[in-house]
Structure 1
Amino acid sequence: MSEVGLAGSSGPFAGKVAIVTGSESGIGRETARLLCESGAAVVLNGRNAERLAQTRAALEAAGHAVASCVADVTDYAACEQLVSTAIDAFGWLDILVTNASISQRAYFADMQPAVFRQVMDSNVYGSVFPLKAALPHLIKSKGSVTFISSISALNGMPSGSAYCAGKAAVANLAHTLRLELAETGVHFGVVHIGFTQNDPEKRVLAANGQPVSIAHRPPRWQKSQAEVASIIVRHIQRRRQRTVISALGQLIVLVHTYFPRLGDWVVRTTMRRMRHFYE
């Protein structure tokens, strides 16, 4: 696909080229789909070649302009290849969404150090490396970067130490980059997602590194992947600095800012009375 191939696109992102990491499934897939439906050409990414190919085929069948790259975003050379895929396929790059990450379901005292590092690497370097590779192109286009964080980064969450730390790190990274690169015109934003419906096969890491299912979340607290993707895409379009998804997320911000002791009391109480919520 060349610049000519993008000329016929329509929508708020017409003529734009986006990379969405971790877009073979889940929120990343739905974000990529909505960007396509809004006129963008999208480079899909993931580590599972079969699942990535299925997602690409579905979007191509719907008439969208897509490319794909199997890449582990914690590997800088792989991220360079990911960015090269976008440039080779579409000619330039306007949008980067760093969505790929690994989560956990394990208390800090039980975690093997290598597992803690694996979760941290996926959340920190999994955002830093794609951005580092893409930055020259984004500066040229005065483009947009959106880091996908979590409401658990706003105040921490038991059984999520490495995940919370990593997600908080990228939020602070975005703030620093806004200061350092203010003159470039590049947008740096963060979306703190809340509890979201997951694909049935989604797994997180236990303390020993084994994949396990996600901790119980009441369905009434969860947004659909399409709802979350819609909020992410609107955030990109408006070039917002921070978006906190869900009423729970907004409540966490309020309590953490003005009533931090109350917030900690609520968490400790739920740990005693609703332990399955974390485990």
Structure 2
Amino acid sequence: MPPGCLAAPAGSKGVFAGKVAVVTGSESGIGRETARLLCQQGAAVVLNGRNAERLEATRQEFEAAGFAVASCLADVTDYAACETLIDTAIRTFGQLDILITNASISQRAYFADMQPEVFRQVLDSNVYGTVYPLKAALPYLTQTKGSVTFISSISALNGMPSGSAYCAGKAAVSNLAHTLRLELAATGIHFGVVHIGFTQNDPEKRVLDAAGQPVPIAHRPPRWQKTQAEVAGIILSHIRRRRQRTVISALGRLIVLVHTWLPRLGDWIVLRTTRRLRHFYE
């Protein structure tokens, strides 16, 4: 067992007792809080991220709380790194029951202004950052009839100006889950998607601008935002119930309703809102 890792406690209790989970992008933010809640509910968790300092700080915090935890520094757009990530779970805990693909890059840039390589970077992080961990984990998830949850966004449901690559990637992930649900029905693996809405972010959270430089996220009214802990709780409920799709927040469900039945009205509302926001930033 690698130094600093704990075996799952034999007598651990909770909804996910005896389960082993990998949560990508769990060094901070929603991923970290989802991993924390999984640990509190009895799971052993492999943490992941690209920032060594933040990842180690999170691992130490979890270990100090008595959680069964390991960590793996890995870029999920690199397939070899994803193989190492999944191998960490198997070497440390002996199995894999839950995969949550949370790691991704977002943007705040209009399509006409974006450099092609920036578009690709955002798209790759969302698509290959989902495909590669799953591909590496699939044999082990088949053994346990495990659960796979792709973290998407409400912006994938109707599109969002200034988020072309991000929205495209998140929409692709939703369709991927549907396809895999059909292709791999005989395996017993659960494939689900959680569409996250506006969520409180860590102060250092950044997205990419048109040139690929990190910038603060767009302004969001606080009353529209859920806490990271609230979102983590919804994600765990989604996994426990093995749901196909969960749309977080009343706003997200309203977007689904309007996009389905009144798409022109939905586009009008989005355009009016984004014009106001663009004026705010300019």
Question: TM-score normalised by the shorter chain: which range applies?
Answer: over 0.9
What is the percent sequence identity of the aligned residues?
Answer: 82
Residue type of the alignment partner of 2:198: F
- Range 7-16 or range 73-82, more displaced: 7-16
SS in 2 for 1:130: helix
> Cα RMSD between the aligned structures?
1.5
Q: Which whole-Å deviations, capped at 9, do the CAs of 1:121-177 have from their partners, x for residues lacking one?
A: 000000000000000000000000000000000000000000000000000000000
2:188 aligned with 1:219: no
Cα distance, 1:107–1:5 mapped onto 2, change above 3 Å: closer
Do residues 262 (structure 1) and 265 (structure 2) align?
Answer: yes
> Which residue identity is paired with 1:40?
A
- SS of corresponding position for 2:76: coil
TM-score, normalising length: structure 1: 0.97
Answer whether contact 2:6 2:68 (CA < 8 A) is retained.
Answer: no
| Corresponding residue for residue 236 of structure 1 | 239
Aligned residues, how many? Answer: 279
The Cα of 1:4 is off from its aligned counterpart by: 6.9
Are 2:90 and 1:87 aligned? yes
C-alpha deviation, 1:211, in angstroms: 0.4
TM-score, normalised on structure 2?
Answer: 0.96
> Equivalents in 2 of 1:217, 1:102: separation in Å?
18
Is residue 2:15 matched to residue 1:12?
Answer: yes
Query: Match of 1:148?
Result: 151
Deviation track 1:35-89 (CA, whole Å, cap 9, x = no partner) reads 0000000000000011000000111111000000000000000000000000000
Distance 1:239 1:5 in 2: 23
1:201 is paired with a residue whose SS is coil
Helix, strand or coil at the partner of 2:104: coil
Query: What is residue 110 of structure 1 aligned with on the other side?
Result: 113
Q: Are residues 1:30 and 2:36 paired? A: no
One-letter amino acid of the counterpart of residue 135, structure 2: K
Alpha-carbon shift at residue 276 of structure 1 (Å): 5.3
- Alignment-mate amino acid for residue 207 of structure 2: V
- Where does structure 2 lack aligned partners over 5 or more consecutive residues? none
SS at match of 2:275: helix
The match for 1:203 among 206, 210, 214 is: 206
**Distance in 1 between residues matched to 2:69 and 2:183, nearest whole Å:** 32
Structure 1: gaps spanning 5 or more residues: none
